[in-house]
Structure 1
Amino acid sequence: MKHLLPVITTLLCVSFYTQASEPAGKTILARGSVLAVDGDSELQRKLQRRDTVFGVDRITTGEKSKAQFTMSDGGLIALKENSELNIANYEFDSNAQQGSASIELLKGGLRSISGVIKKNGGSYNVKTPVGSIGIRGTHFEVQLVNGDVFLAVWDGAIDLTLKNNDVVSLGHNEAFSFAQITASGEVLTTTRAANVFDQNIVAIDSKSDDDKEESEQSSVAEVIEPEIIDIIDIIETDSGIADVYSEQQFQTVSNASLIDQIAQRQGVFNYQASSFNIDSSAGAVSDFSMMMAVDFDNGTVPDGEISFNDANGNWYAAYSGLINLSKLDLAVTFASHANNKAEGNVEAIFLNDLDTISGSFNLNEINNPDVNATGSFKLEP
């Protein structure tokens, strides 16, 4: 009995935590040290892929660590290494499709793509040490360096209200898309991204992190997020997509030329299914279709859809995401099967000089996970 008390206490703490806190989103990527701390109880937990984050969480990433989250309204947040983010508020009513969000960047940097909250006119604010950012668009980036705040708007627009109530507007239909606000409040606007958004690229090989040497610097911040990459960044060992590809195919992404290709490609490319293999718990499937829009200018996947039929009805999933070097970090934002809500995930990588996207997906009904479907695919423009 004495040995059971710690276990019971832990279970009670977890139960209280999940009941008292509203889910704000899910973890779609967690590399290195990624921790969430309850802002009220100071309970700490390590975040892993698919873990829920809550409206009272303070999230931190360590050295050479990063995290990405799909939020309850379909928005995406990517945290860089050595960052600290406080989710002050993230509320979304999926039925009314309305909500509000307030997050605070305390350290490091983040990239965000706003979701339905902003699309439907809700309040979405990001607090920084120099002021509060109001979001008018979709895709922006913030980096804190020695007390200064650096801003980049890749799509849409933002309004930064400084502590003296002056407003700095950046992005679409504004004179500038980039700015630096010093700790003293001085505003420096530019037409080019600051060096803090440059990329440190390490060649992909099978050596340990300690053995790897930096191979080049590439200023392609508008395309991909900063990171040190290795072969594990190309393929998730628990995702099942390894079965789709051969060793030779992965050799095509083992040099820096792919990074140059991503940086040089411009505009939005619409990829469609050229081949696929689908299994459903209800048997044979028909009428499969899949599309993915890839915006190389902004480093995003703004829109993607999967649809097919089985004996019990139509499967449908919508997803979006970010370009993460050779692979795509994707999150399912809505899914259904017939009249039932569903969930799932999509994994994909670039092949053949960006002319092919290959990957896999799995879907299941939320209330009946035994009703499910899985598949692999190839997409081409």
Structure 2
Amino acid sequence: MNKLLVVFTTYVFFLPVLQASENAGKTIMAKGSVNAEMNQNIRELSRRSPIFTEDLVKTAINSATQLRMIDGGLLSIQQQSQLAINQYEFNQETHHGNVSMSLIKGGLRTITGSLNKASGNYTMQTPVASIGVRGTHYEAELLDGDLYLATWEGIIDIDVLAGTENQQFSLGPELPHKFAIVRVDGSVEFLLTVPAVFSEGHSHDLAENTVMTVRTDDILPTSDSLFIGDEIYYASALENKGAQTFFGNELQVSTLGLEPEISRSGEILFSELEQSSVVSSSGEISDLAISMNINFDTARVSNGQISFNDNGGEWFAAMDGIIEQGELDLSINFASHNNALASGEINGYLINQGHGVLGSFTLAELLNPEVNAGGSFLLNSHE
């Protein structure tokens, strides 16, 4: 009886803390030790864990996390980092809101969502500078007190807080500079090439983990909709960005409150590719083939394969996994691009009472993650 009372008391104490804060997003991936702290409460983050305003997200050494925010924004946080979610407000109907976050330690890569166009409504604070975001894909990294910046798309406006000169400047691919270092003393150094820290230092240690998987909800206006029975599925693929990192898509399933009904049995081969949308940083793809065996009696997925060609050679990936309540929990065991080793992620859902698989994947070379590919697919069985 006493044990039950203690558990109940703890629950009542902790619940108002979460309810007092607004939902800011959710965790797509967490590898290693990843926590969120709020009001002296610590939560371990895993896939699908919620993220709240006032959370302080922390990653340990050899750890990383990827977050999907409520406006569709994407955050890939590197190891030994701390990011405070000070404010994350978004109105689904008007697409208006405000974002304020603080990078306290470490580094991140981000693609902003719907809250990226109005001047002044999206800021990233750091100990040495404030970053104003105007629709962009950028990286920021703190190393030995200095702030390293790279802007891949759009514009960021930097207001230097360190030092006494109160400098202000902007970075972007269409501007004179897109790379810079803000030193701890407030001085600014503009670079013609990518800062070495992004390819050789902190970020490189987790290069195999930096392929971002995006869960595409109905807040993405460019999404294509697939209507299958009573279920609605959204798929969206970002256009090919050449040498820039492609952030692939994980498909969000909306079942209108219905649990998937699966009455199939035995082991069945899924290899009929009904629809697909795949892009590669190495150009046009061809000869796409996807297959997997699903055993509905043992809830196992085996002999899964993905293969296709681009201008750099053949991509190949082998995967297996299990079934959990209609979702395929898959792992890529081996991947390659031509003669280069690769890594990636794959996700899928059973649809149409188990007669189809709706999925998505991302792949990237281990030593050259800027060489990558990803997309979505709809796979049917032969029966």
For residues 24 and 9 of structure 2, what CA distance do their matches in structure 1 show?
Answer: 25
For residues 301 and 320 of structure 1, what CA distance do their matches in structure 2 show?
Answer: 12
Residue pairs, 1:134-149, within 5 angstroms: 134-149=132-147
Q: Deviations over 1:147-189 (max 9, x none)?
A: 1111111111111011243212111331111111111011000
Establish whether residue 362 from structure 1 lines up as the match of residue 349 from structure 2.
yes
Match of 2:190 in 1: 189
For residues 8 and 249 of structure 2, what CA distance do their matches in structure 1 show?
Answer: 44
Gaps spanning 5+ residues in structure 1: where? 202-220, 237-271, 273-277, 313-318, 329-343, 365-369
Q: 1:95 aligns with which of 93, 96, 103?
A: 93
For residues 200 and 118 of structure 1, what CA distance do their matches in structure 2 show?
Answer: 29
Establish whether residue 112 from structure 1 lines up as the match of residue 58 from structure 2.
no
For residues 18 and 193 of structure 1, what CA distance do their matches in structure 2 show?
Answer: 40
Match of 2:17 in 1: 17
Counterparts in 2 of 1:304 and 1:53: CA distance versus 1, 3 Å:
closer
SS of equivalent residue, structure 2 residue 190? strand
Does the 8 Å CA contact 1:327/1:348 hold for their aligned counterparts?
A: no
Match of 2:168 in 1: 167
Percent of aligned pairs with the same residue?
30
Q: 1:58 aligns with which of 56, 59, 68?
A: 56
Does the 8 Å CA contact 1:170/1:178 hold for their aligned counterparts?
A: yes
Does the 8 Å CA contact 1:64/1:228 hold for their aligned counterparts?
A: no
Letter in 2 for 1:86: A
Give the TM-score, by structure 1 length: 0.61
Match of 2:68 in 1: 70
Match of 2:302 in 1: none
Match of 2:206 in 1: 227
Alpha-carbon shift at residue 30 of structure 1 (Å): 0.2
Counterparts in 2 of 1:128 and 1:327: CA distance versus 1, 3 Å:
farther
SS of equivalent residue, structure 1 residue 134? strand
For residues 123 and 322 of structure 1, what CA distance do their matches in structure 2 show?
Answer: 33
For residues 279 and 329 of structure 2, what CA distance do their matches in structure 1 show?
Answer: 10
For residues 301 and 35 of structure 1, what CA distance do their matches in structure 2 show?
Answer: 24
Match of 1:218 in 2: none
Give the TM-score, by structure 2 length: 0.60
Residue pairs, 1:269-348, within 5 angstroms: 293-301=239-247
Does the 8 Å CA contact 1:171/1:177 hold for their aligned counterparts?
A: yes
Does the 8 Å CA contact 1:157/1:169 hold for their aligned counterparts?
A: yes
Does the 8 Å CA contact 1:34/1:62 hold for their aligned counterparts?
A: yes
Does the 8 Å CA contact 2:140/2:150 hold for their aligned counterparts?
A: yes
Q: Deviations over 1:293-319 (max 9, x none)?
A: 34342213388989999xx9xxxxxx9
Letter in 1 for 2:206: E
Q: Deviations over 1:85-121 (max 9, x none)?
A: 0111111111221111010000000111000011466
Establish whether residue 133 from structure 1 lines up as the match of residue 131 from structure 2.
yes
Counterparts in 2 of 1:322 and 1:83: CA distance versus 1, 3 Å:
farther
Does the 8 Å CA contact 2:237/2:248 hold for their aligned counterparts?
A: no
For residues 55 and 254 of structure 2, what CA distance do their matches in structure 1 show?
Answer: 37
Does the 8 Å CA contact 1:289/1:307 hold for their aligned counterparts?
A: no
Counterparts in 2 of 1:158 and 1:228: CA distance versus 1, 3 Å:
closer
Match of 1:204 in 2: none
Calculate the aligned-residue CA RMSD, in Å.
4.8
Gaps spanning 5+ residues in structure 2: where? 214-223, 259-276, 282-314, 318-326, 362-374, 378-383
Letter in 2 for 1:375: L
Does the 8 Å CA contact 2:26/2:50 hold for their aligned counterparts?
A: yes
Letter in 1 for 2:358: G
Match of 1:247 in 2: none
Counterparts in 2 of 1:184 and 1:14: CA distance versus 1, 3 Å:
same
SS of equivalent residue, structure 2 residue 150? strand
For residues 282 and 26 of structure 1, what CA distance do their matches in structure 2 show?
Answer: 26
Does the 8 Å CA contact 1:279/1:373 hold for their aligned counterparts?
A: no
- Equivalent pairs counted in the alignment come to 280
Moved more, 5-14 or 92-101: 5-14
Counterparts in 2 of 1:361 and 1:19: CA distance versus 1, 3 Å:
same
Counterparts in 2 of 1:103 and 1:24: CA distance versus 1, 3 Å:
same
Structure scoring higher RCO (CA < 8 A, sep ≥ 6) equals 2
Counterparts in 2 of 1:14 and 1:7: CA distance versus 1, 3 Å:
same
Alpha-carbon shift at residue 196 of structure 1 (Å): 0.5
Match of 2:180 in 1: 179
Alpha-carbon shift at residue 70 of structure 1 (Å): 0.4
For residues 14 and 32 of structure 1, what CA distance do their matches in structure 2 show?
Answer: 25
Match of 1:243 in 2: none
Does the 8 Å CA contact 1:142/1:150 hold for their aligned counterparts?
A: yes
Does the 8 Å CA contact 1:86/1:103 hold for their aligned counterparts?
A: yes
Does the 8 Å CA contact 1:31/1:65 hold for their aligned counterparts?
A: yes
